[in-house]
A and B are shown apart, each in its own frame.
Chain A
Amino acid sequence: MNSELQTKLVNAAKSGNIECFGKLCENYYSTLVAIAYSILGDHHLAEDAAQAAYAKAITALPKLKDGDKFAPWLARICRNTATDMIKKKSRQYTTNDLSQLKAPDEYNDNRPLIRQAIKMLEPSEKEIICLRYYDQMSYQQIGEILGISSPAINGRLKRAKQKIAEYLKRNDFSEFEL
């Protein structure tokens, strides 16, 4: 979605056109799920968090001053929602679930170890890894959501991947050369 169309949709949604808000929701859904996933470590919870974030966003939207900052504003709401969820459900779900929640066919593969490696990252690094690999976003799209430049994204991704690789190496994961 180009920025001009997005600005029109945001302005229309602010004026009371709920279908325009729906278009924006559809556009950013996977992004919000990726952000929530980086915090919650669970797909279903991440989807719940994204939908709860929309519920908060729709009531706060008429008060949004700068329509151009819609995406970072929405991402912030989602981040806070996911953080609140993990606080409320800390006894049931933690970020450890990144490695513990397994699908039936995952017992003999390497995915839990990689998820565990991601769990060890800093929150900002986890988020950028999820945006890049969960939602397959481009650097430009990530930049729009996080409000940072492409070189900054590149640097943050590089550091995150280096940490993942080091963690895998320490855990005798030798499927690739570091």
Chain B
Amino acid sequence: MKPENENTNLDELISKAIGDKKLAFNFQQWKKDHPKQVADYKEQTASKSHKLIRYAGILSAAAMILLAVMLLPTISDNDAQPVEYQAKILTAKISLPADVPTIAKLNIIFQKYDMQAVDTFCEQAANRTGLQPEKMTARQLLKEMETNSDNTEGNDHENRSYNNTDDMHNAA
């Protein structure tokens, strides 16, 4: 912005009255004359750097703790279960695809042979996996049903003989 109030004569008079001073500042000399202030400044700036480093350390430690707290339930989820239960799950996971009878397998065996063949298959599977049924077996259930029906109904499947377990496995 161009000054609006230039009065050359007055400006010169004021400049001559108070100005015309060539000033130079010697900072090195000033530092020598003010050692205490310089030392305070250095101490402050140094402690500021140390504070920053310390805060960074605290922050990173806090982040690690937070991360550990977040991950802890995921890591210890399986550990919270009883040991026996974990063993059963492990056994089931390993033996399920090959040995444990499934509904589909049993259905195929029953359609191809008879109920007795189903029971035999289940018993063999139980022996291999170690998961013995605690309640009534299929064979016992079958006998009970036969007793109840009093042998009145004829069943073609009963007349079939079933001796070869390899056939059953092939069928499964």
Q: Which residues of A contact B (CB under 8 A)?
A: 14-16, 18, 21-22, 25-26, 29-30, 33, 37, 43, 47, 51, 54-55, 58-59, 61-62, 110-111, 114-115, 118, 129-130, 133-136, 139, 150-151, 154, 157-158, 161, 164-165, 175-176
- Across-interface contacts of A136 in B (CB, < 8 A): 15, 19
Chain B's closest residue to A51 (CB) is B30
- Across-interface contacts of A176 in B (CB, < 8 A): 7, 9-10, 13
Q: B13–A110 contact, CB under 8 A?
A: yes
Q: Which residues of B contact A (CB under 8 A)?
A: 1, 3-5, 7, 9-11, 13-19, 21, 23-25, 27-28, 30-31, 33-34, 37-38, 40-42, 44-46, 48-49
The 5 closest A-B pairs by CB, nearest first: A16-B45, A22-B27, A29-B25, A176-B9, A114-B17
- Across-interface contacts of B46 in A (CB, < 8 A): 16
- Across-interface contacts of A18 in B (CB, < 8 A): 31, 38, 41-42
Q: B27–A16 contact, CB under 8 A?
A: no
Q: How far is the CA of A114 from the CA of B15 in the complex (A)?
A: 10
Q: B37–A59 contact, CB under 8 A?
A: yes
- Across-interface contacts of B25 in A (CB, < 8 A): 25-26, 29
Contact partner of B38 (CB less than 8 A), chosen from A58, A151, A165, is A58
A30-B23, A37-B18, A110-B13 known; A62+B45 contact, CB < 8 A: yes
- Across-interface contacts of B28 in A (CB, < 8 A): 22
- Across-interface contacts of A175 in B (CB, < 8 A): 9, 13
- Across-interface contacts of A139 in B (CB, < 8 A): 1, 3
Contact partner of B5 (CB less than 8 A), chosen from A15, A59, A111, A158, is A158
Q: How far is the CA of A136 from the CA of B16 in the complex (A)?
A: 12
Chain B's closest residue to A176 (CB) is B9
Q: A16–B7 contact, CB under 8 A?
A: no
Q: How far is the CA of A75 from the CA of B66 in the complex (A)?
A: 47
Identify 9 residue pairs between A and B in the complex whose beta-carbon atoms are under 8 Å apart, listed by A's number: A16-B46, A25-B25, A30-B21, A51-B30, A59-B40, A62-B44, A157-B3, A158-B4, A176-B9
A30-B23, A58-B38 known; A161+B31 contact, CB < 8 A: no
- Across-interface contacts of B5 in A (CB, < 8 A): 154, 157-158, 161
